[in-house]
Amino acid sequence: MPSSPSRPTRAAAPTPSPAPVRKVPQQERSRLMVARLVEAGRQVLHRDGYEGFTTNRVAQEAGVSPGSLYQYFSDKGAIIAAIIARWSDEVEERATTGLAARLGEEGPAMVRAVADALLEALETSPELLRVVMEELPPSQHRPRLVSFERRVIDLVTAYLAARPGALGPERSAARIAWVLVMAVENLSVRFVLDAPALSRDEFLDEVTALCLGYLDPTGATSP
């Protein structure tokens, strides 16, 4: 999930996201209905994209009346917010769990493991990733993207901070972690969406070489 490389001096106030669910389901039947509508919405978003996404199409996909849908979701934006929330949770959990399990690696193996964990998480639903990154308004996904990035950056920062001798003099673990995570994340998104002429292993090899060159330009040490 790419982030903007520049940092504006004054950020515009974010557009408030609609509440994902109009009424919080209390009974199992209601919870199942919400899950059914969200999954139907996900299928419509995959098939028809953001512009073709309508509440009527979601209701039809779910096999319910539009009135039943409006009991739980106020509009198109609310359903999309729920879809993105669920998908983001899946990606974040997969990436952070995979990354945490691989942080015992050392040197190039660790760098490759970080790239592999992020790529693996993004590969779970390329169609939805494309819609999120290329069709949805940023206000629909930006807050969750920032939260996801923060968790990954914190994990990588902790790893690097525990190995200060590998960073060289006067290099910040947090700063290095931010650069690494942003680079790997953006490259992984483009790899998934663009399907370039290189294999998955080749991609990981190139990303590993890129990151190692940044971590240690002299080639004298390994992270």
Q: H helices within the chain, ranges in order?
A: 28-48, 55-62, 66-70, 76-102, 107-122, 126-134, 142-161, 173-194, 200-215
Per the confidence metrics, is the pTM higher than 0.85? no
Q: Is the dihedral of CA 18, 19, 20, 22 positive or negative?
A: negative
Tell me the CATH class for 28-74: mainly alpha
Which pLDDT tens digit goes with each residue over 26-45?
578 888 999 999 999 999 98
Do the two domains 28-74 and 87-215 of this chain adopt the same fold? no
pLDDT for 154 beyond 70? yes
Structural domain spans, the chain: 28-74, 87-215
Which pLDDT tens digit goes with each residue over 4-16?
444 433 333 333 4
More confident residue, 20 or 205: 205
CATH of the structural domain 87-215, one choice from 3.40.50.720, 1.10.357.10, 1.10.3720.10, 1.10.1060.10:
1.10.357.10
pLDDT for 203 beyond 90? yes
So what's the pLDDT on residue 162?
81
Confidence of residue 202 (pLDDT cuts 50, 70, 90): very high
More confident residue, 70 or 108: 70
Phi, psi dihedral angles at 144 (to 5 degrees) = -70, -35
DSSP 8-state code for residue 106: -
Burial class of 139 by CB neighbour count within 10 A (0 to 12, 13 to 18, 19+): middle
CA angle (144 as vertex; 108, 201 as ends), nearest 5: 30
3-state secondary structure of 171: coil
pLDDT for 193 beyond 50? yes
So what's the pLDDT on residue 168?
63
Q: Which of 132-136, 143-147, 209-213, 214-218 has the lowest mean pLDDT?
A: 214-218
Confidence of residue 217 (pLDDT cuts 50, 70, 90): low
Report the C-alpha gap between 183 and 186 in whole angstroms.
Answer: 5
Which pLDDT tens digit goes with each residue over 166-192?
666 678 889 999 999 999 999 999 999
pLDDT for 148 beyond 80? yes
From 41, 116, 27, 46, select the one nearest 86 (Cα to Cα).
41
pLDDT for 133 beyond 90? no
Q: Which of 36-50, 75-89, 121-135, 186-200 has the highest mean pLDDT?
A: 186-200
So what's the pLDDT on residue 171?
80
So what's the pLDDT on residue 49?
84
